[in-house]
Structure 1
């Protein structure tokens, strides 16, 4: 079977395809216009024809140039604004999204669902529900790419990146790494399986469950000694962490930053870079002491803390 257009299996795919089709239509129209003008002038002004060949009036020259330039400018601004709205709309976080954590390494994808179920080189998601992936790499730069969804996001070591989508068609779709990551890069793939919500719920319930990332992070938080300073009732004064995620934090140098995943991660690895106002820079760095998996667990735990201190 010859497929003239790749299958579209997500809401993002429909939006991306709309922009691409518009660009193809505009490019095709301009190409046909130019070809028609070239062909028409070649016939009309061929050697030996009686067509007049005098100079164009100066005023007509300016009108044509200004009109053509203005029309192209308006068209470019329209396409830019439409594509920008489409792209930025996909970046708006959905608070109701299913959050799945992804760790890339040479050469596999490891995923973990909210209930602790884990997969390797596979990802199961429900149709019609928003899924948000929080991704990091254990070694080099990778890139999470699902052509049928029209989504691609670089996965970086030392940083958490996110990707959000909503699948619209049940089926199995190839997953690729779109960034050369080593000798077995071509084999770093997998499948994304889209299921009906009720089938996904049954599949998820049948998977071996472990503690979710938040619970694992809570245990790690205690074992690393973090609770000894951030508990609030200790002798060493440290910032309270209850409800910190998503909040504006005042820093000692006068800056105000939003406590997102990147801030929480940096505070664990580089605690002296963004010191909270009113506190001394006493916290040691955990760089080299915790791996990427452990960082994901710690960040998940901190994100789960509500006002009052419990997940």
Structure 2
């Protein structure tokens, strides 16, 4: 009975974190972009440094009419937002926050989280296909092409860490992690983070959205709370990507003086800030540039990281 209660408590903590952290990241994006681009609304909405901006956005989405186009495949159209959001919730259950603080410690946790993250992209593909809109269909096709290009370097970079740690368990990887891994796993860390951004379709990898070309890409026909779920899925994806990068390449909860979960949150929010910073700082890549970066840039770098990891493992064996 005590074991069941322990699992329930841990899952409740994970659920609470999942519900709160994406909203915090969304509010942070409002603030960071307001400072960097001199946007007035997020700085003053509600007084005291714009605290009500996120609340105003929520009320706006709740008030809008839920419209389903006549030409849409209604079932797939309605299911797509959930398919985009739920996988990130499932991934959070397997990501360790501190020593012993993980929803479920899976022996093949790394494979599990990478497989489930790939499912989230299917939500955008389903939305694009089912909307009955040519702009949405083009956005869905771009999402599929982007997934195929960037899934390979993402998996190869993560495999390098698993090889170095000798385990596929996420808590096991953190426990095996050493500070001297930072320089020789840096290539894999950059590849993993960039490929993850591309899978989330975050700028500068937002060609499936490309509002100047495709209105809003796969989610052009979505309104109200369905649209809000896609936005929440994007912020949840940022939290998951930042958390996985922290666990795999930055030592997870490990750090001096402060408690482990505090170090995890510090690293996660530092990486989330980088995600927002990149959105403000870099223009959108063209489709050919996006594909070229994956196949001629990230894949070779990930293979170099794998080779380097193999050499180091043999050298210290």
TM-score range, shorter chain: under 0.3
More strand per residue: 1 or 2?
1
More helix per residue: 1 or 2?
2
Higher relative contact order (CA 8 A, sep 6+): 2
TM-score, length-scaled by structure 1 = 0.22
TM-score, length-scaled by structure 2 = 0.22
